[in-house]
Amino acid sequence: MTGAFYDGLAGTYDLMFPDWDASMARQASQLAEFVPAGARVLDCACGIGTQAIGLAMRGYEVVGADLSPKAAVRAVVEASARGVALRALSSDMRALPFADGSFDVVLAADNALPHLLTSDDVLAALREMRRVLRPGGRLVISTRDYDAIRRDRPLSTPPSVGPGRVVWFQLWHWDNDQYELEMFQLHEADSWRVVVGKARYWAITRHELTELAERAGLRHVEWSLHAYCQPLMVATNG
């Protein structure tokens, strides 16, 4: 379900941002505070490349991976259009096709990890991210602010408007600590054309994610609430 949802979004994902290039540059500059100069980075949920391309443009050596083959292909194309090399492939973060200790930093940004719906699956992903990190390497994960969201249990996101007057909003259907989202894209054609996709999230709190990260063997787990556009968890391998 998740891979198909993002395959369906791969062609228009950039239209969620008023200016995708500006967002890539801003996010990369914020993430650079947590990614040492010269680091070899794996973005294990790269999507169409919002963080991977921005970091590559700042000179990092970046490899991308994503559950959605179409998103990974688009990330490579968009990187090349901007004059940077990005290798990206399709893979599940619970089974990464890389040797132990291959990366200095592993990144999963913009709420990718909470697509995994059980503690076992999140733990499997965190263990796999740790496995491909070198000793002392750094894990960087961003999620929505689910501590606040679990209190408020919102039923929708406010509409936003992207280039070409594409209107985006989500409806959220809660089921205990999970919700199914319906993502609406309204495209202005002769009349409005509506595209709807569905995906599911676990609204995992910072405490729950911290505990799982520690169980996965990660150390020095810390959260930065205002350094990035979402709360950011940074942890060390050993």
Residues at the site binding ligand SAM, with contacts judged by CB under 6 A: 2, 6, 45-48, 50-51, 66-68, 71, 92-94, 109-112, 115
* Distant-in-sequence, close-in-space partners of 75: CB < 8 Å, separation ≥ 6: 46, 47, 48, 49, 52, 53, 64, 66, 86, 88
Q: How far is the CB of 113 from ligand SAM (least distance, A)?
A: 8
Burial of residue 155, with CB atoms counted within 10 A of its CB: 0-12 exposed, 13-18 middle, 19 or more buried? exposed
DSSP 113-153: GGGS-SHHHHHHHHHHHHHHEEEEEEEEEE---HHHHHHH-
* Cβ closest to ligand SAM, residue 146 vs residue 188: 146
Shortest Å, Cβ 209 to ligand SAM:
15
Answer for the pair 112, 93: CB distance below 8 angstroms, yes or no: yes
**Closer Cβ to ligand SAM, 216 or 238, answer by number:** 216
Nearest residue to ligand SAM, by Cβ distance, number only: 47
Least Å distance, CB 47 to ligand SAM, is 3
Task: State which residue, 24 or 218, has the beta carbon closest to ligand SAM.
Answer: 24
CB of 210 to ligand SAM, least distance (A): 20
Nearer Cβ to ligand SAM (115/130): 115
Cα separation, 64 vs 51, whole angstroms? 10
